[in-house]
């Protein structure tokens, strides 16, 4: 049954985007159609960068959360020099999981989660940010770098 639900949710989301695109074309709003089209393509491209990483546990957690928790929209910024992230998959998954569990207590409307992964010679930096209508900014985790009613950001530095 889970596969059927997953399939239906995915088709529903895609159908909504295509209907909006069709409406823009029908109304002659080519500029809006073009912006939406570029936005959809960019989202797919950015997600693919994350899904191609050598971190199967983190990817599995992301996929499960995306399918089970409709509370978050996701975006990605991936700038890794090597495939070293695979060596830290368990750490990355635990960090993502901790942030998502924390975020679920702080929002009640759909919010945007951005995962940013950057690499230098010495470390991999993971920044996890929640933007949206944040109802609770108290008792944040020690890895929190920014907190207000519009954004909460956590940072993890993994020494290589």
Q: Tens of pLDDT along the chain (160 residues)? A: 566 877 787 788 889 989 999 999 999 999 999 999 999 999 999 999 999 999 999 999 999 888 887 788 999 999 998 778 999 999 999 999 999 999 988 888 889 999 999 998 899 999 999 998 898 888 888 888 998 889 999 999 999 8
pTM: 0.83
Same structural domain, 38 and 63: no
> What is the domain range of residue 95?
54-160
Same structural domain, 12 and 48: yes
pLDDT the model gives residue 4: 80
Same structural domain, 35 and 75: no
Same structural domain, 47 and 58: no
Query: Could you tell me which of 62, 63, 112 has the C-alpha nearest to residue 92?
Result: 62
Q: How far apart are CA 92 and CA 71, in angstroms?
A: 21
Same structural domain, 43 and 24: yes
Per the structure, the count of domains in the chain is 2
Yes or no: say if 156 and 143 are a contact pair by the CB < 8 Å rule. yes
Same structural domain, 40 and 88: no
* CA angle (44, 16, 52) in 5-degree steps: 15
């Amino acid at each position: 049954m889970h596969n059927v639900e997953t399939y239906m949710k995915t088709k529903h989301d895609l159908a909504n985007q295509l209907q909006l695109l069709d409406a823009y074309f029908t109304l002659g709003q080519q500029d809006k159609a073009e912006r939406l089209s570029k936005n959809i393509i960019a989202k797919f491209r950015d997600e693919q960068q994350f899904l191609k990483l050598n971190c199967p546990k983190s990817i599995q957690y992301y996929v499960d959360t995306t399918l089970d928790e409709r509370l978050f929209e996701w975006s990605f910024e991936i700038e890794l020099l090597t495939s070293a992230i695979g060596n830290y998959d368990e750490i990355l998954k635990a960090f993502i999981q901790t942030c998502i569990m924390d975020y679920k207590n702080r929002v009640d409307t759909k919010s945007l989660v951005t995962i940013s992964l950057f690499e230098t010679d010495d470390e991999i930096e993971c920044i996890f940010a929640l933007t949206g209508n944040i109802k609770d900014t108290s008792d944040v985790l020690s890895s929190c770098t920014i907190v207000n009613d519009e954004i909460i950001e956590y940072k993890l530095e993994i020494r290589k």
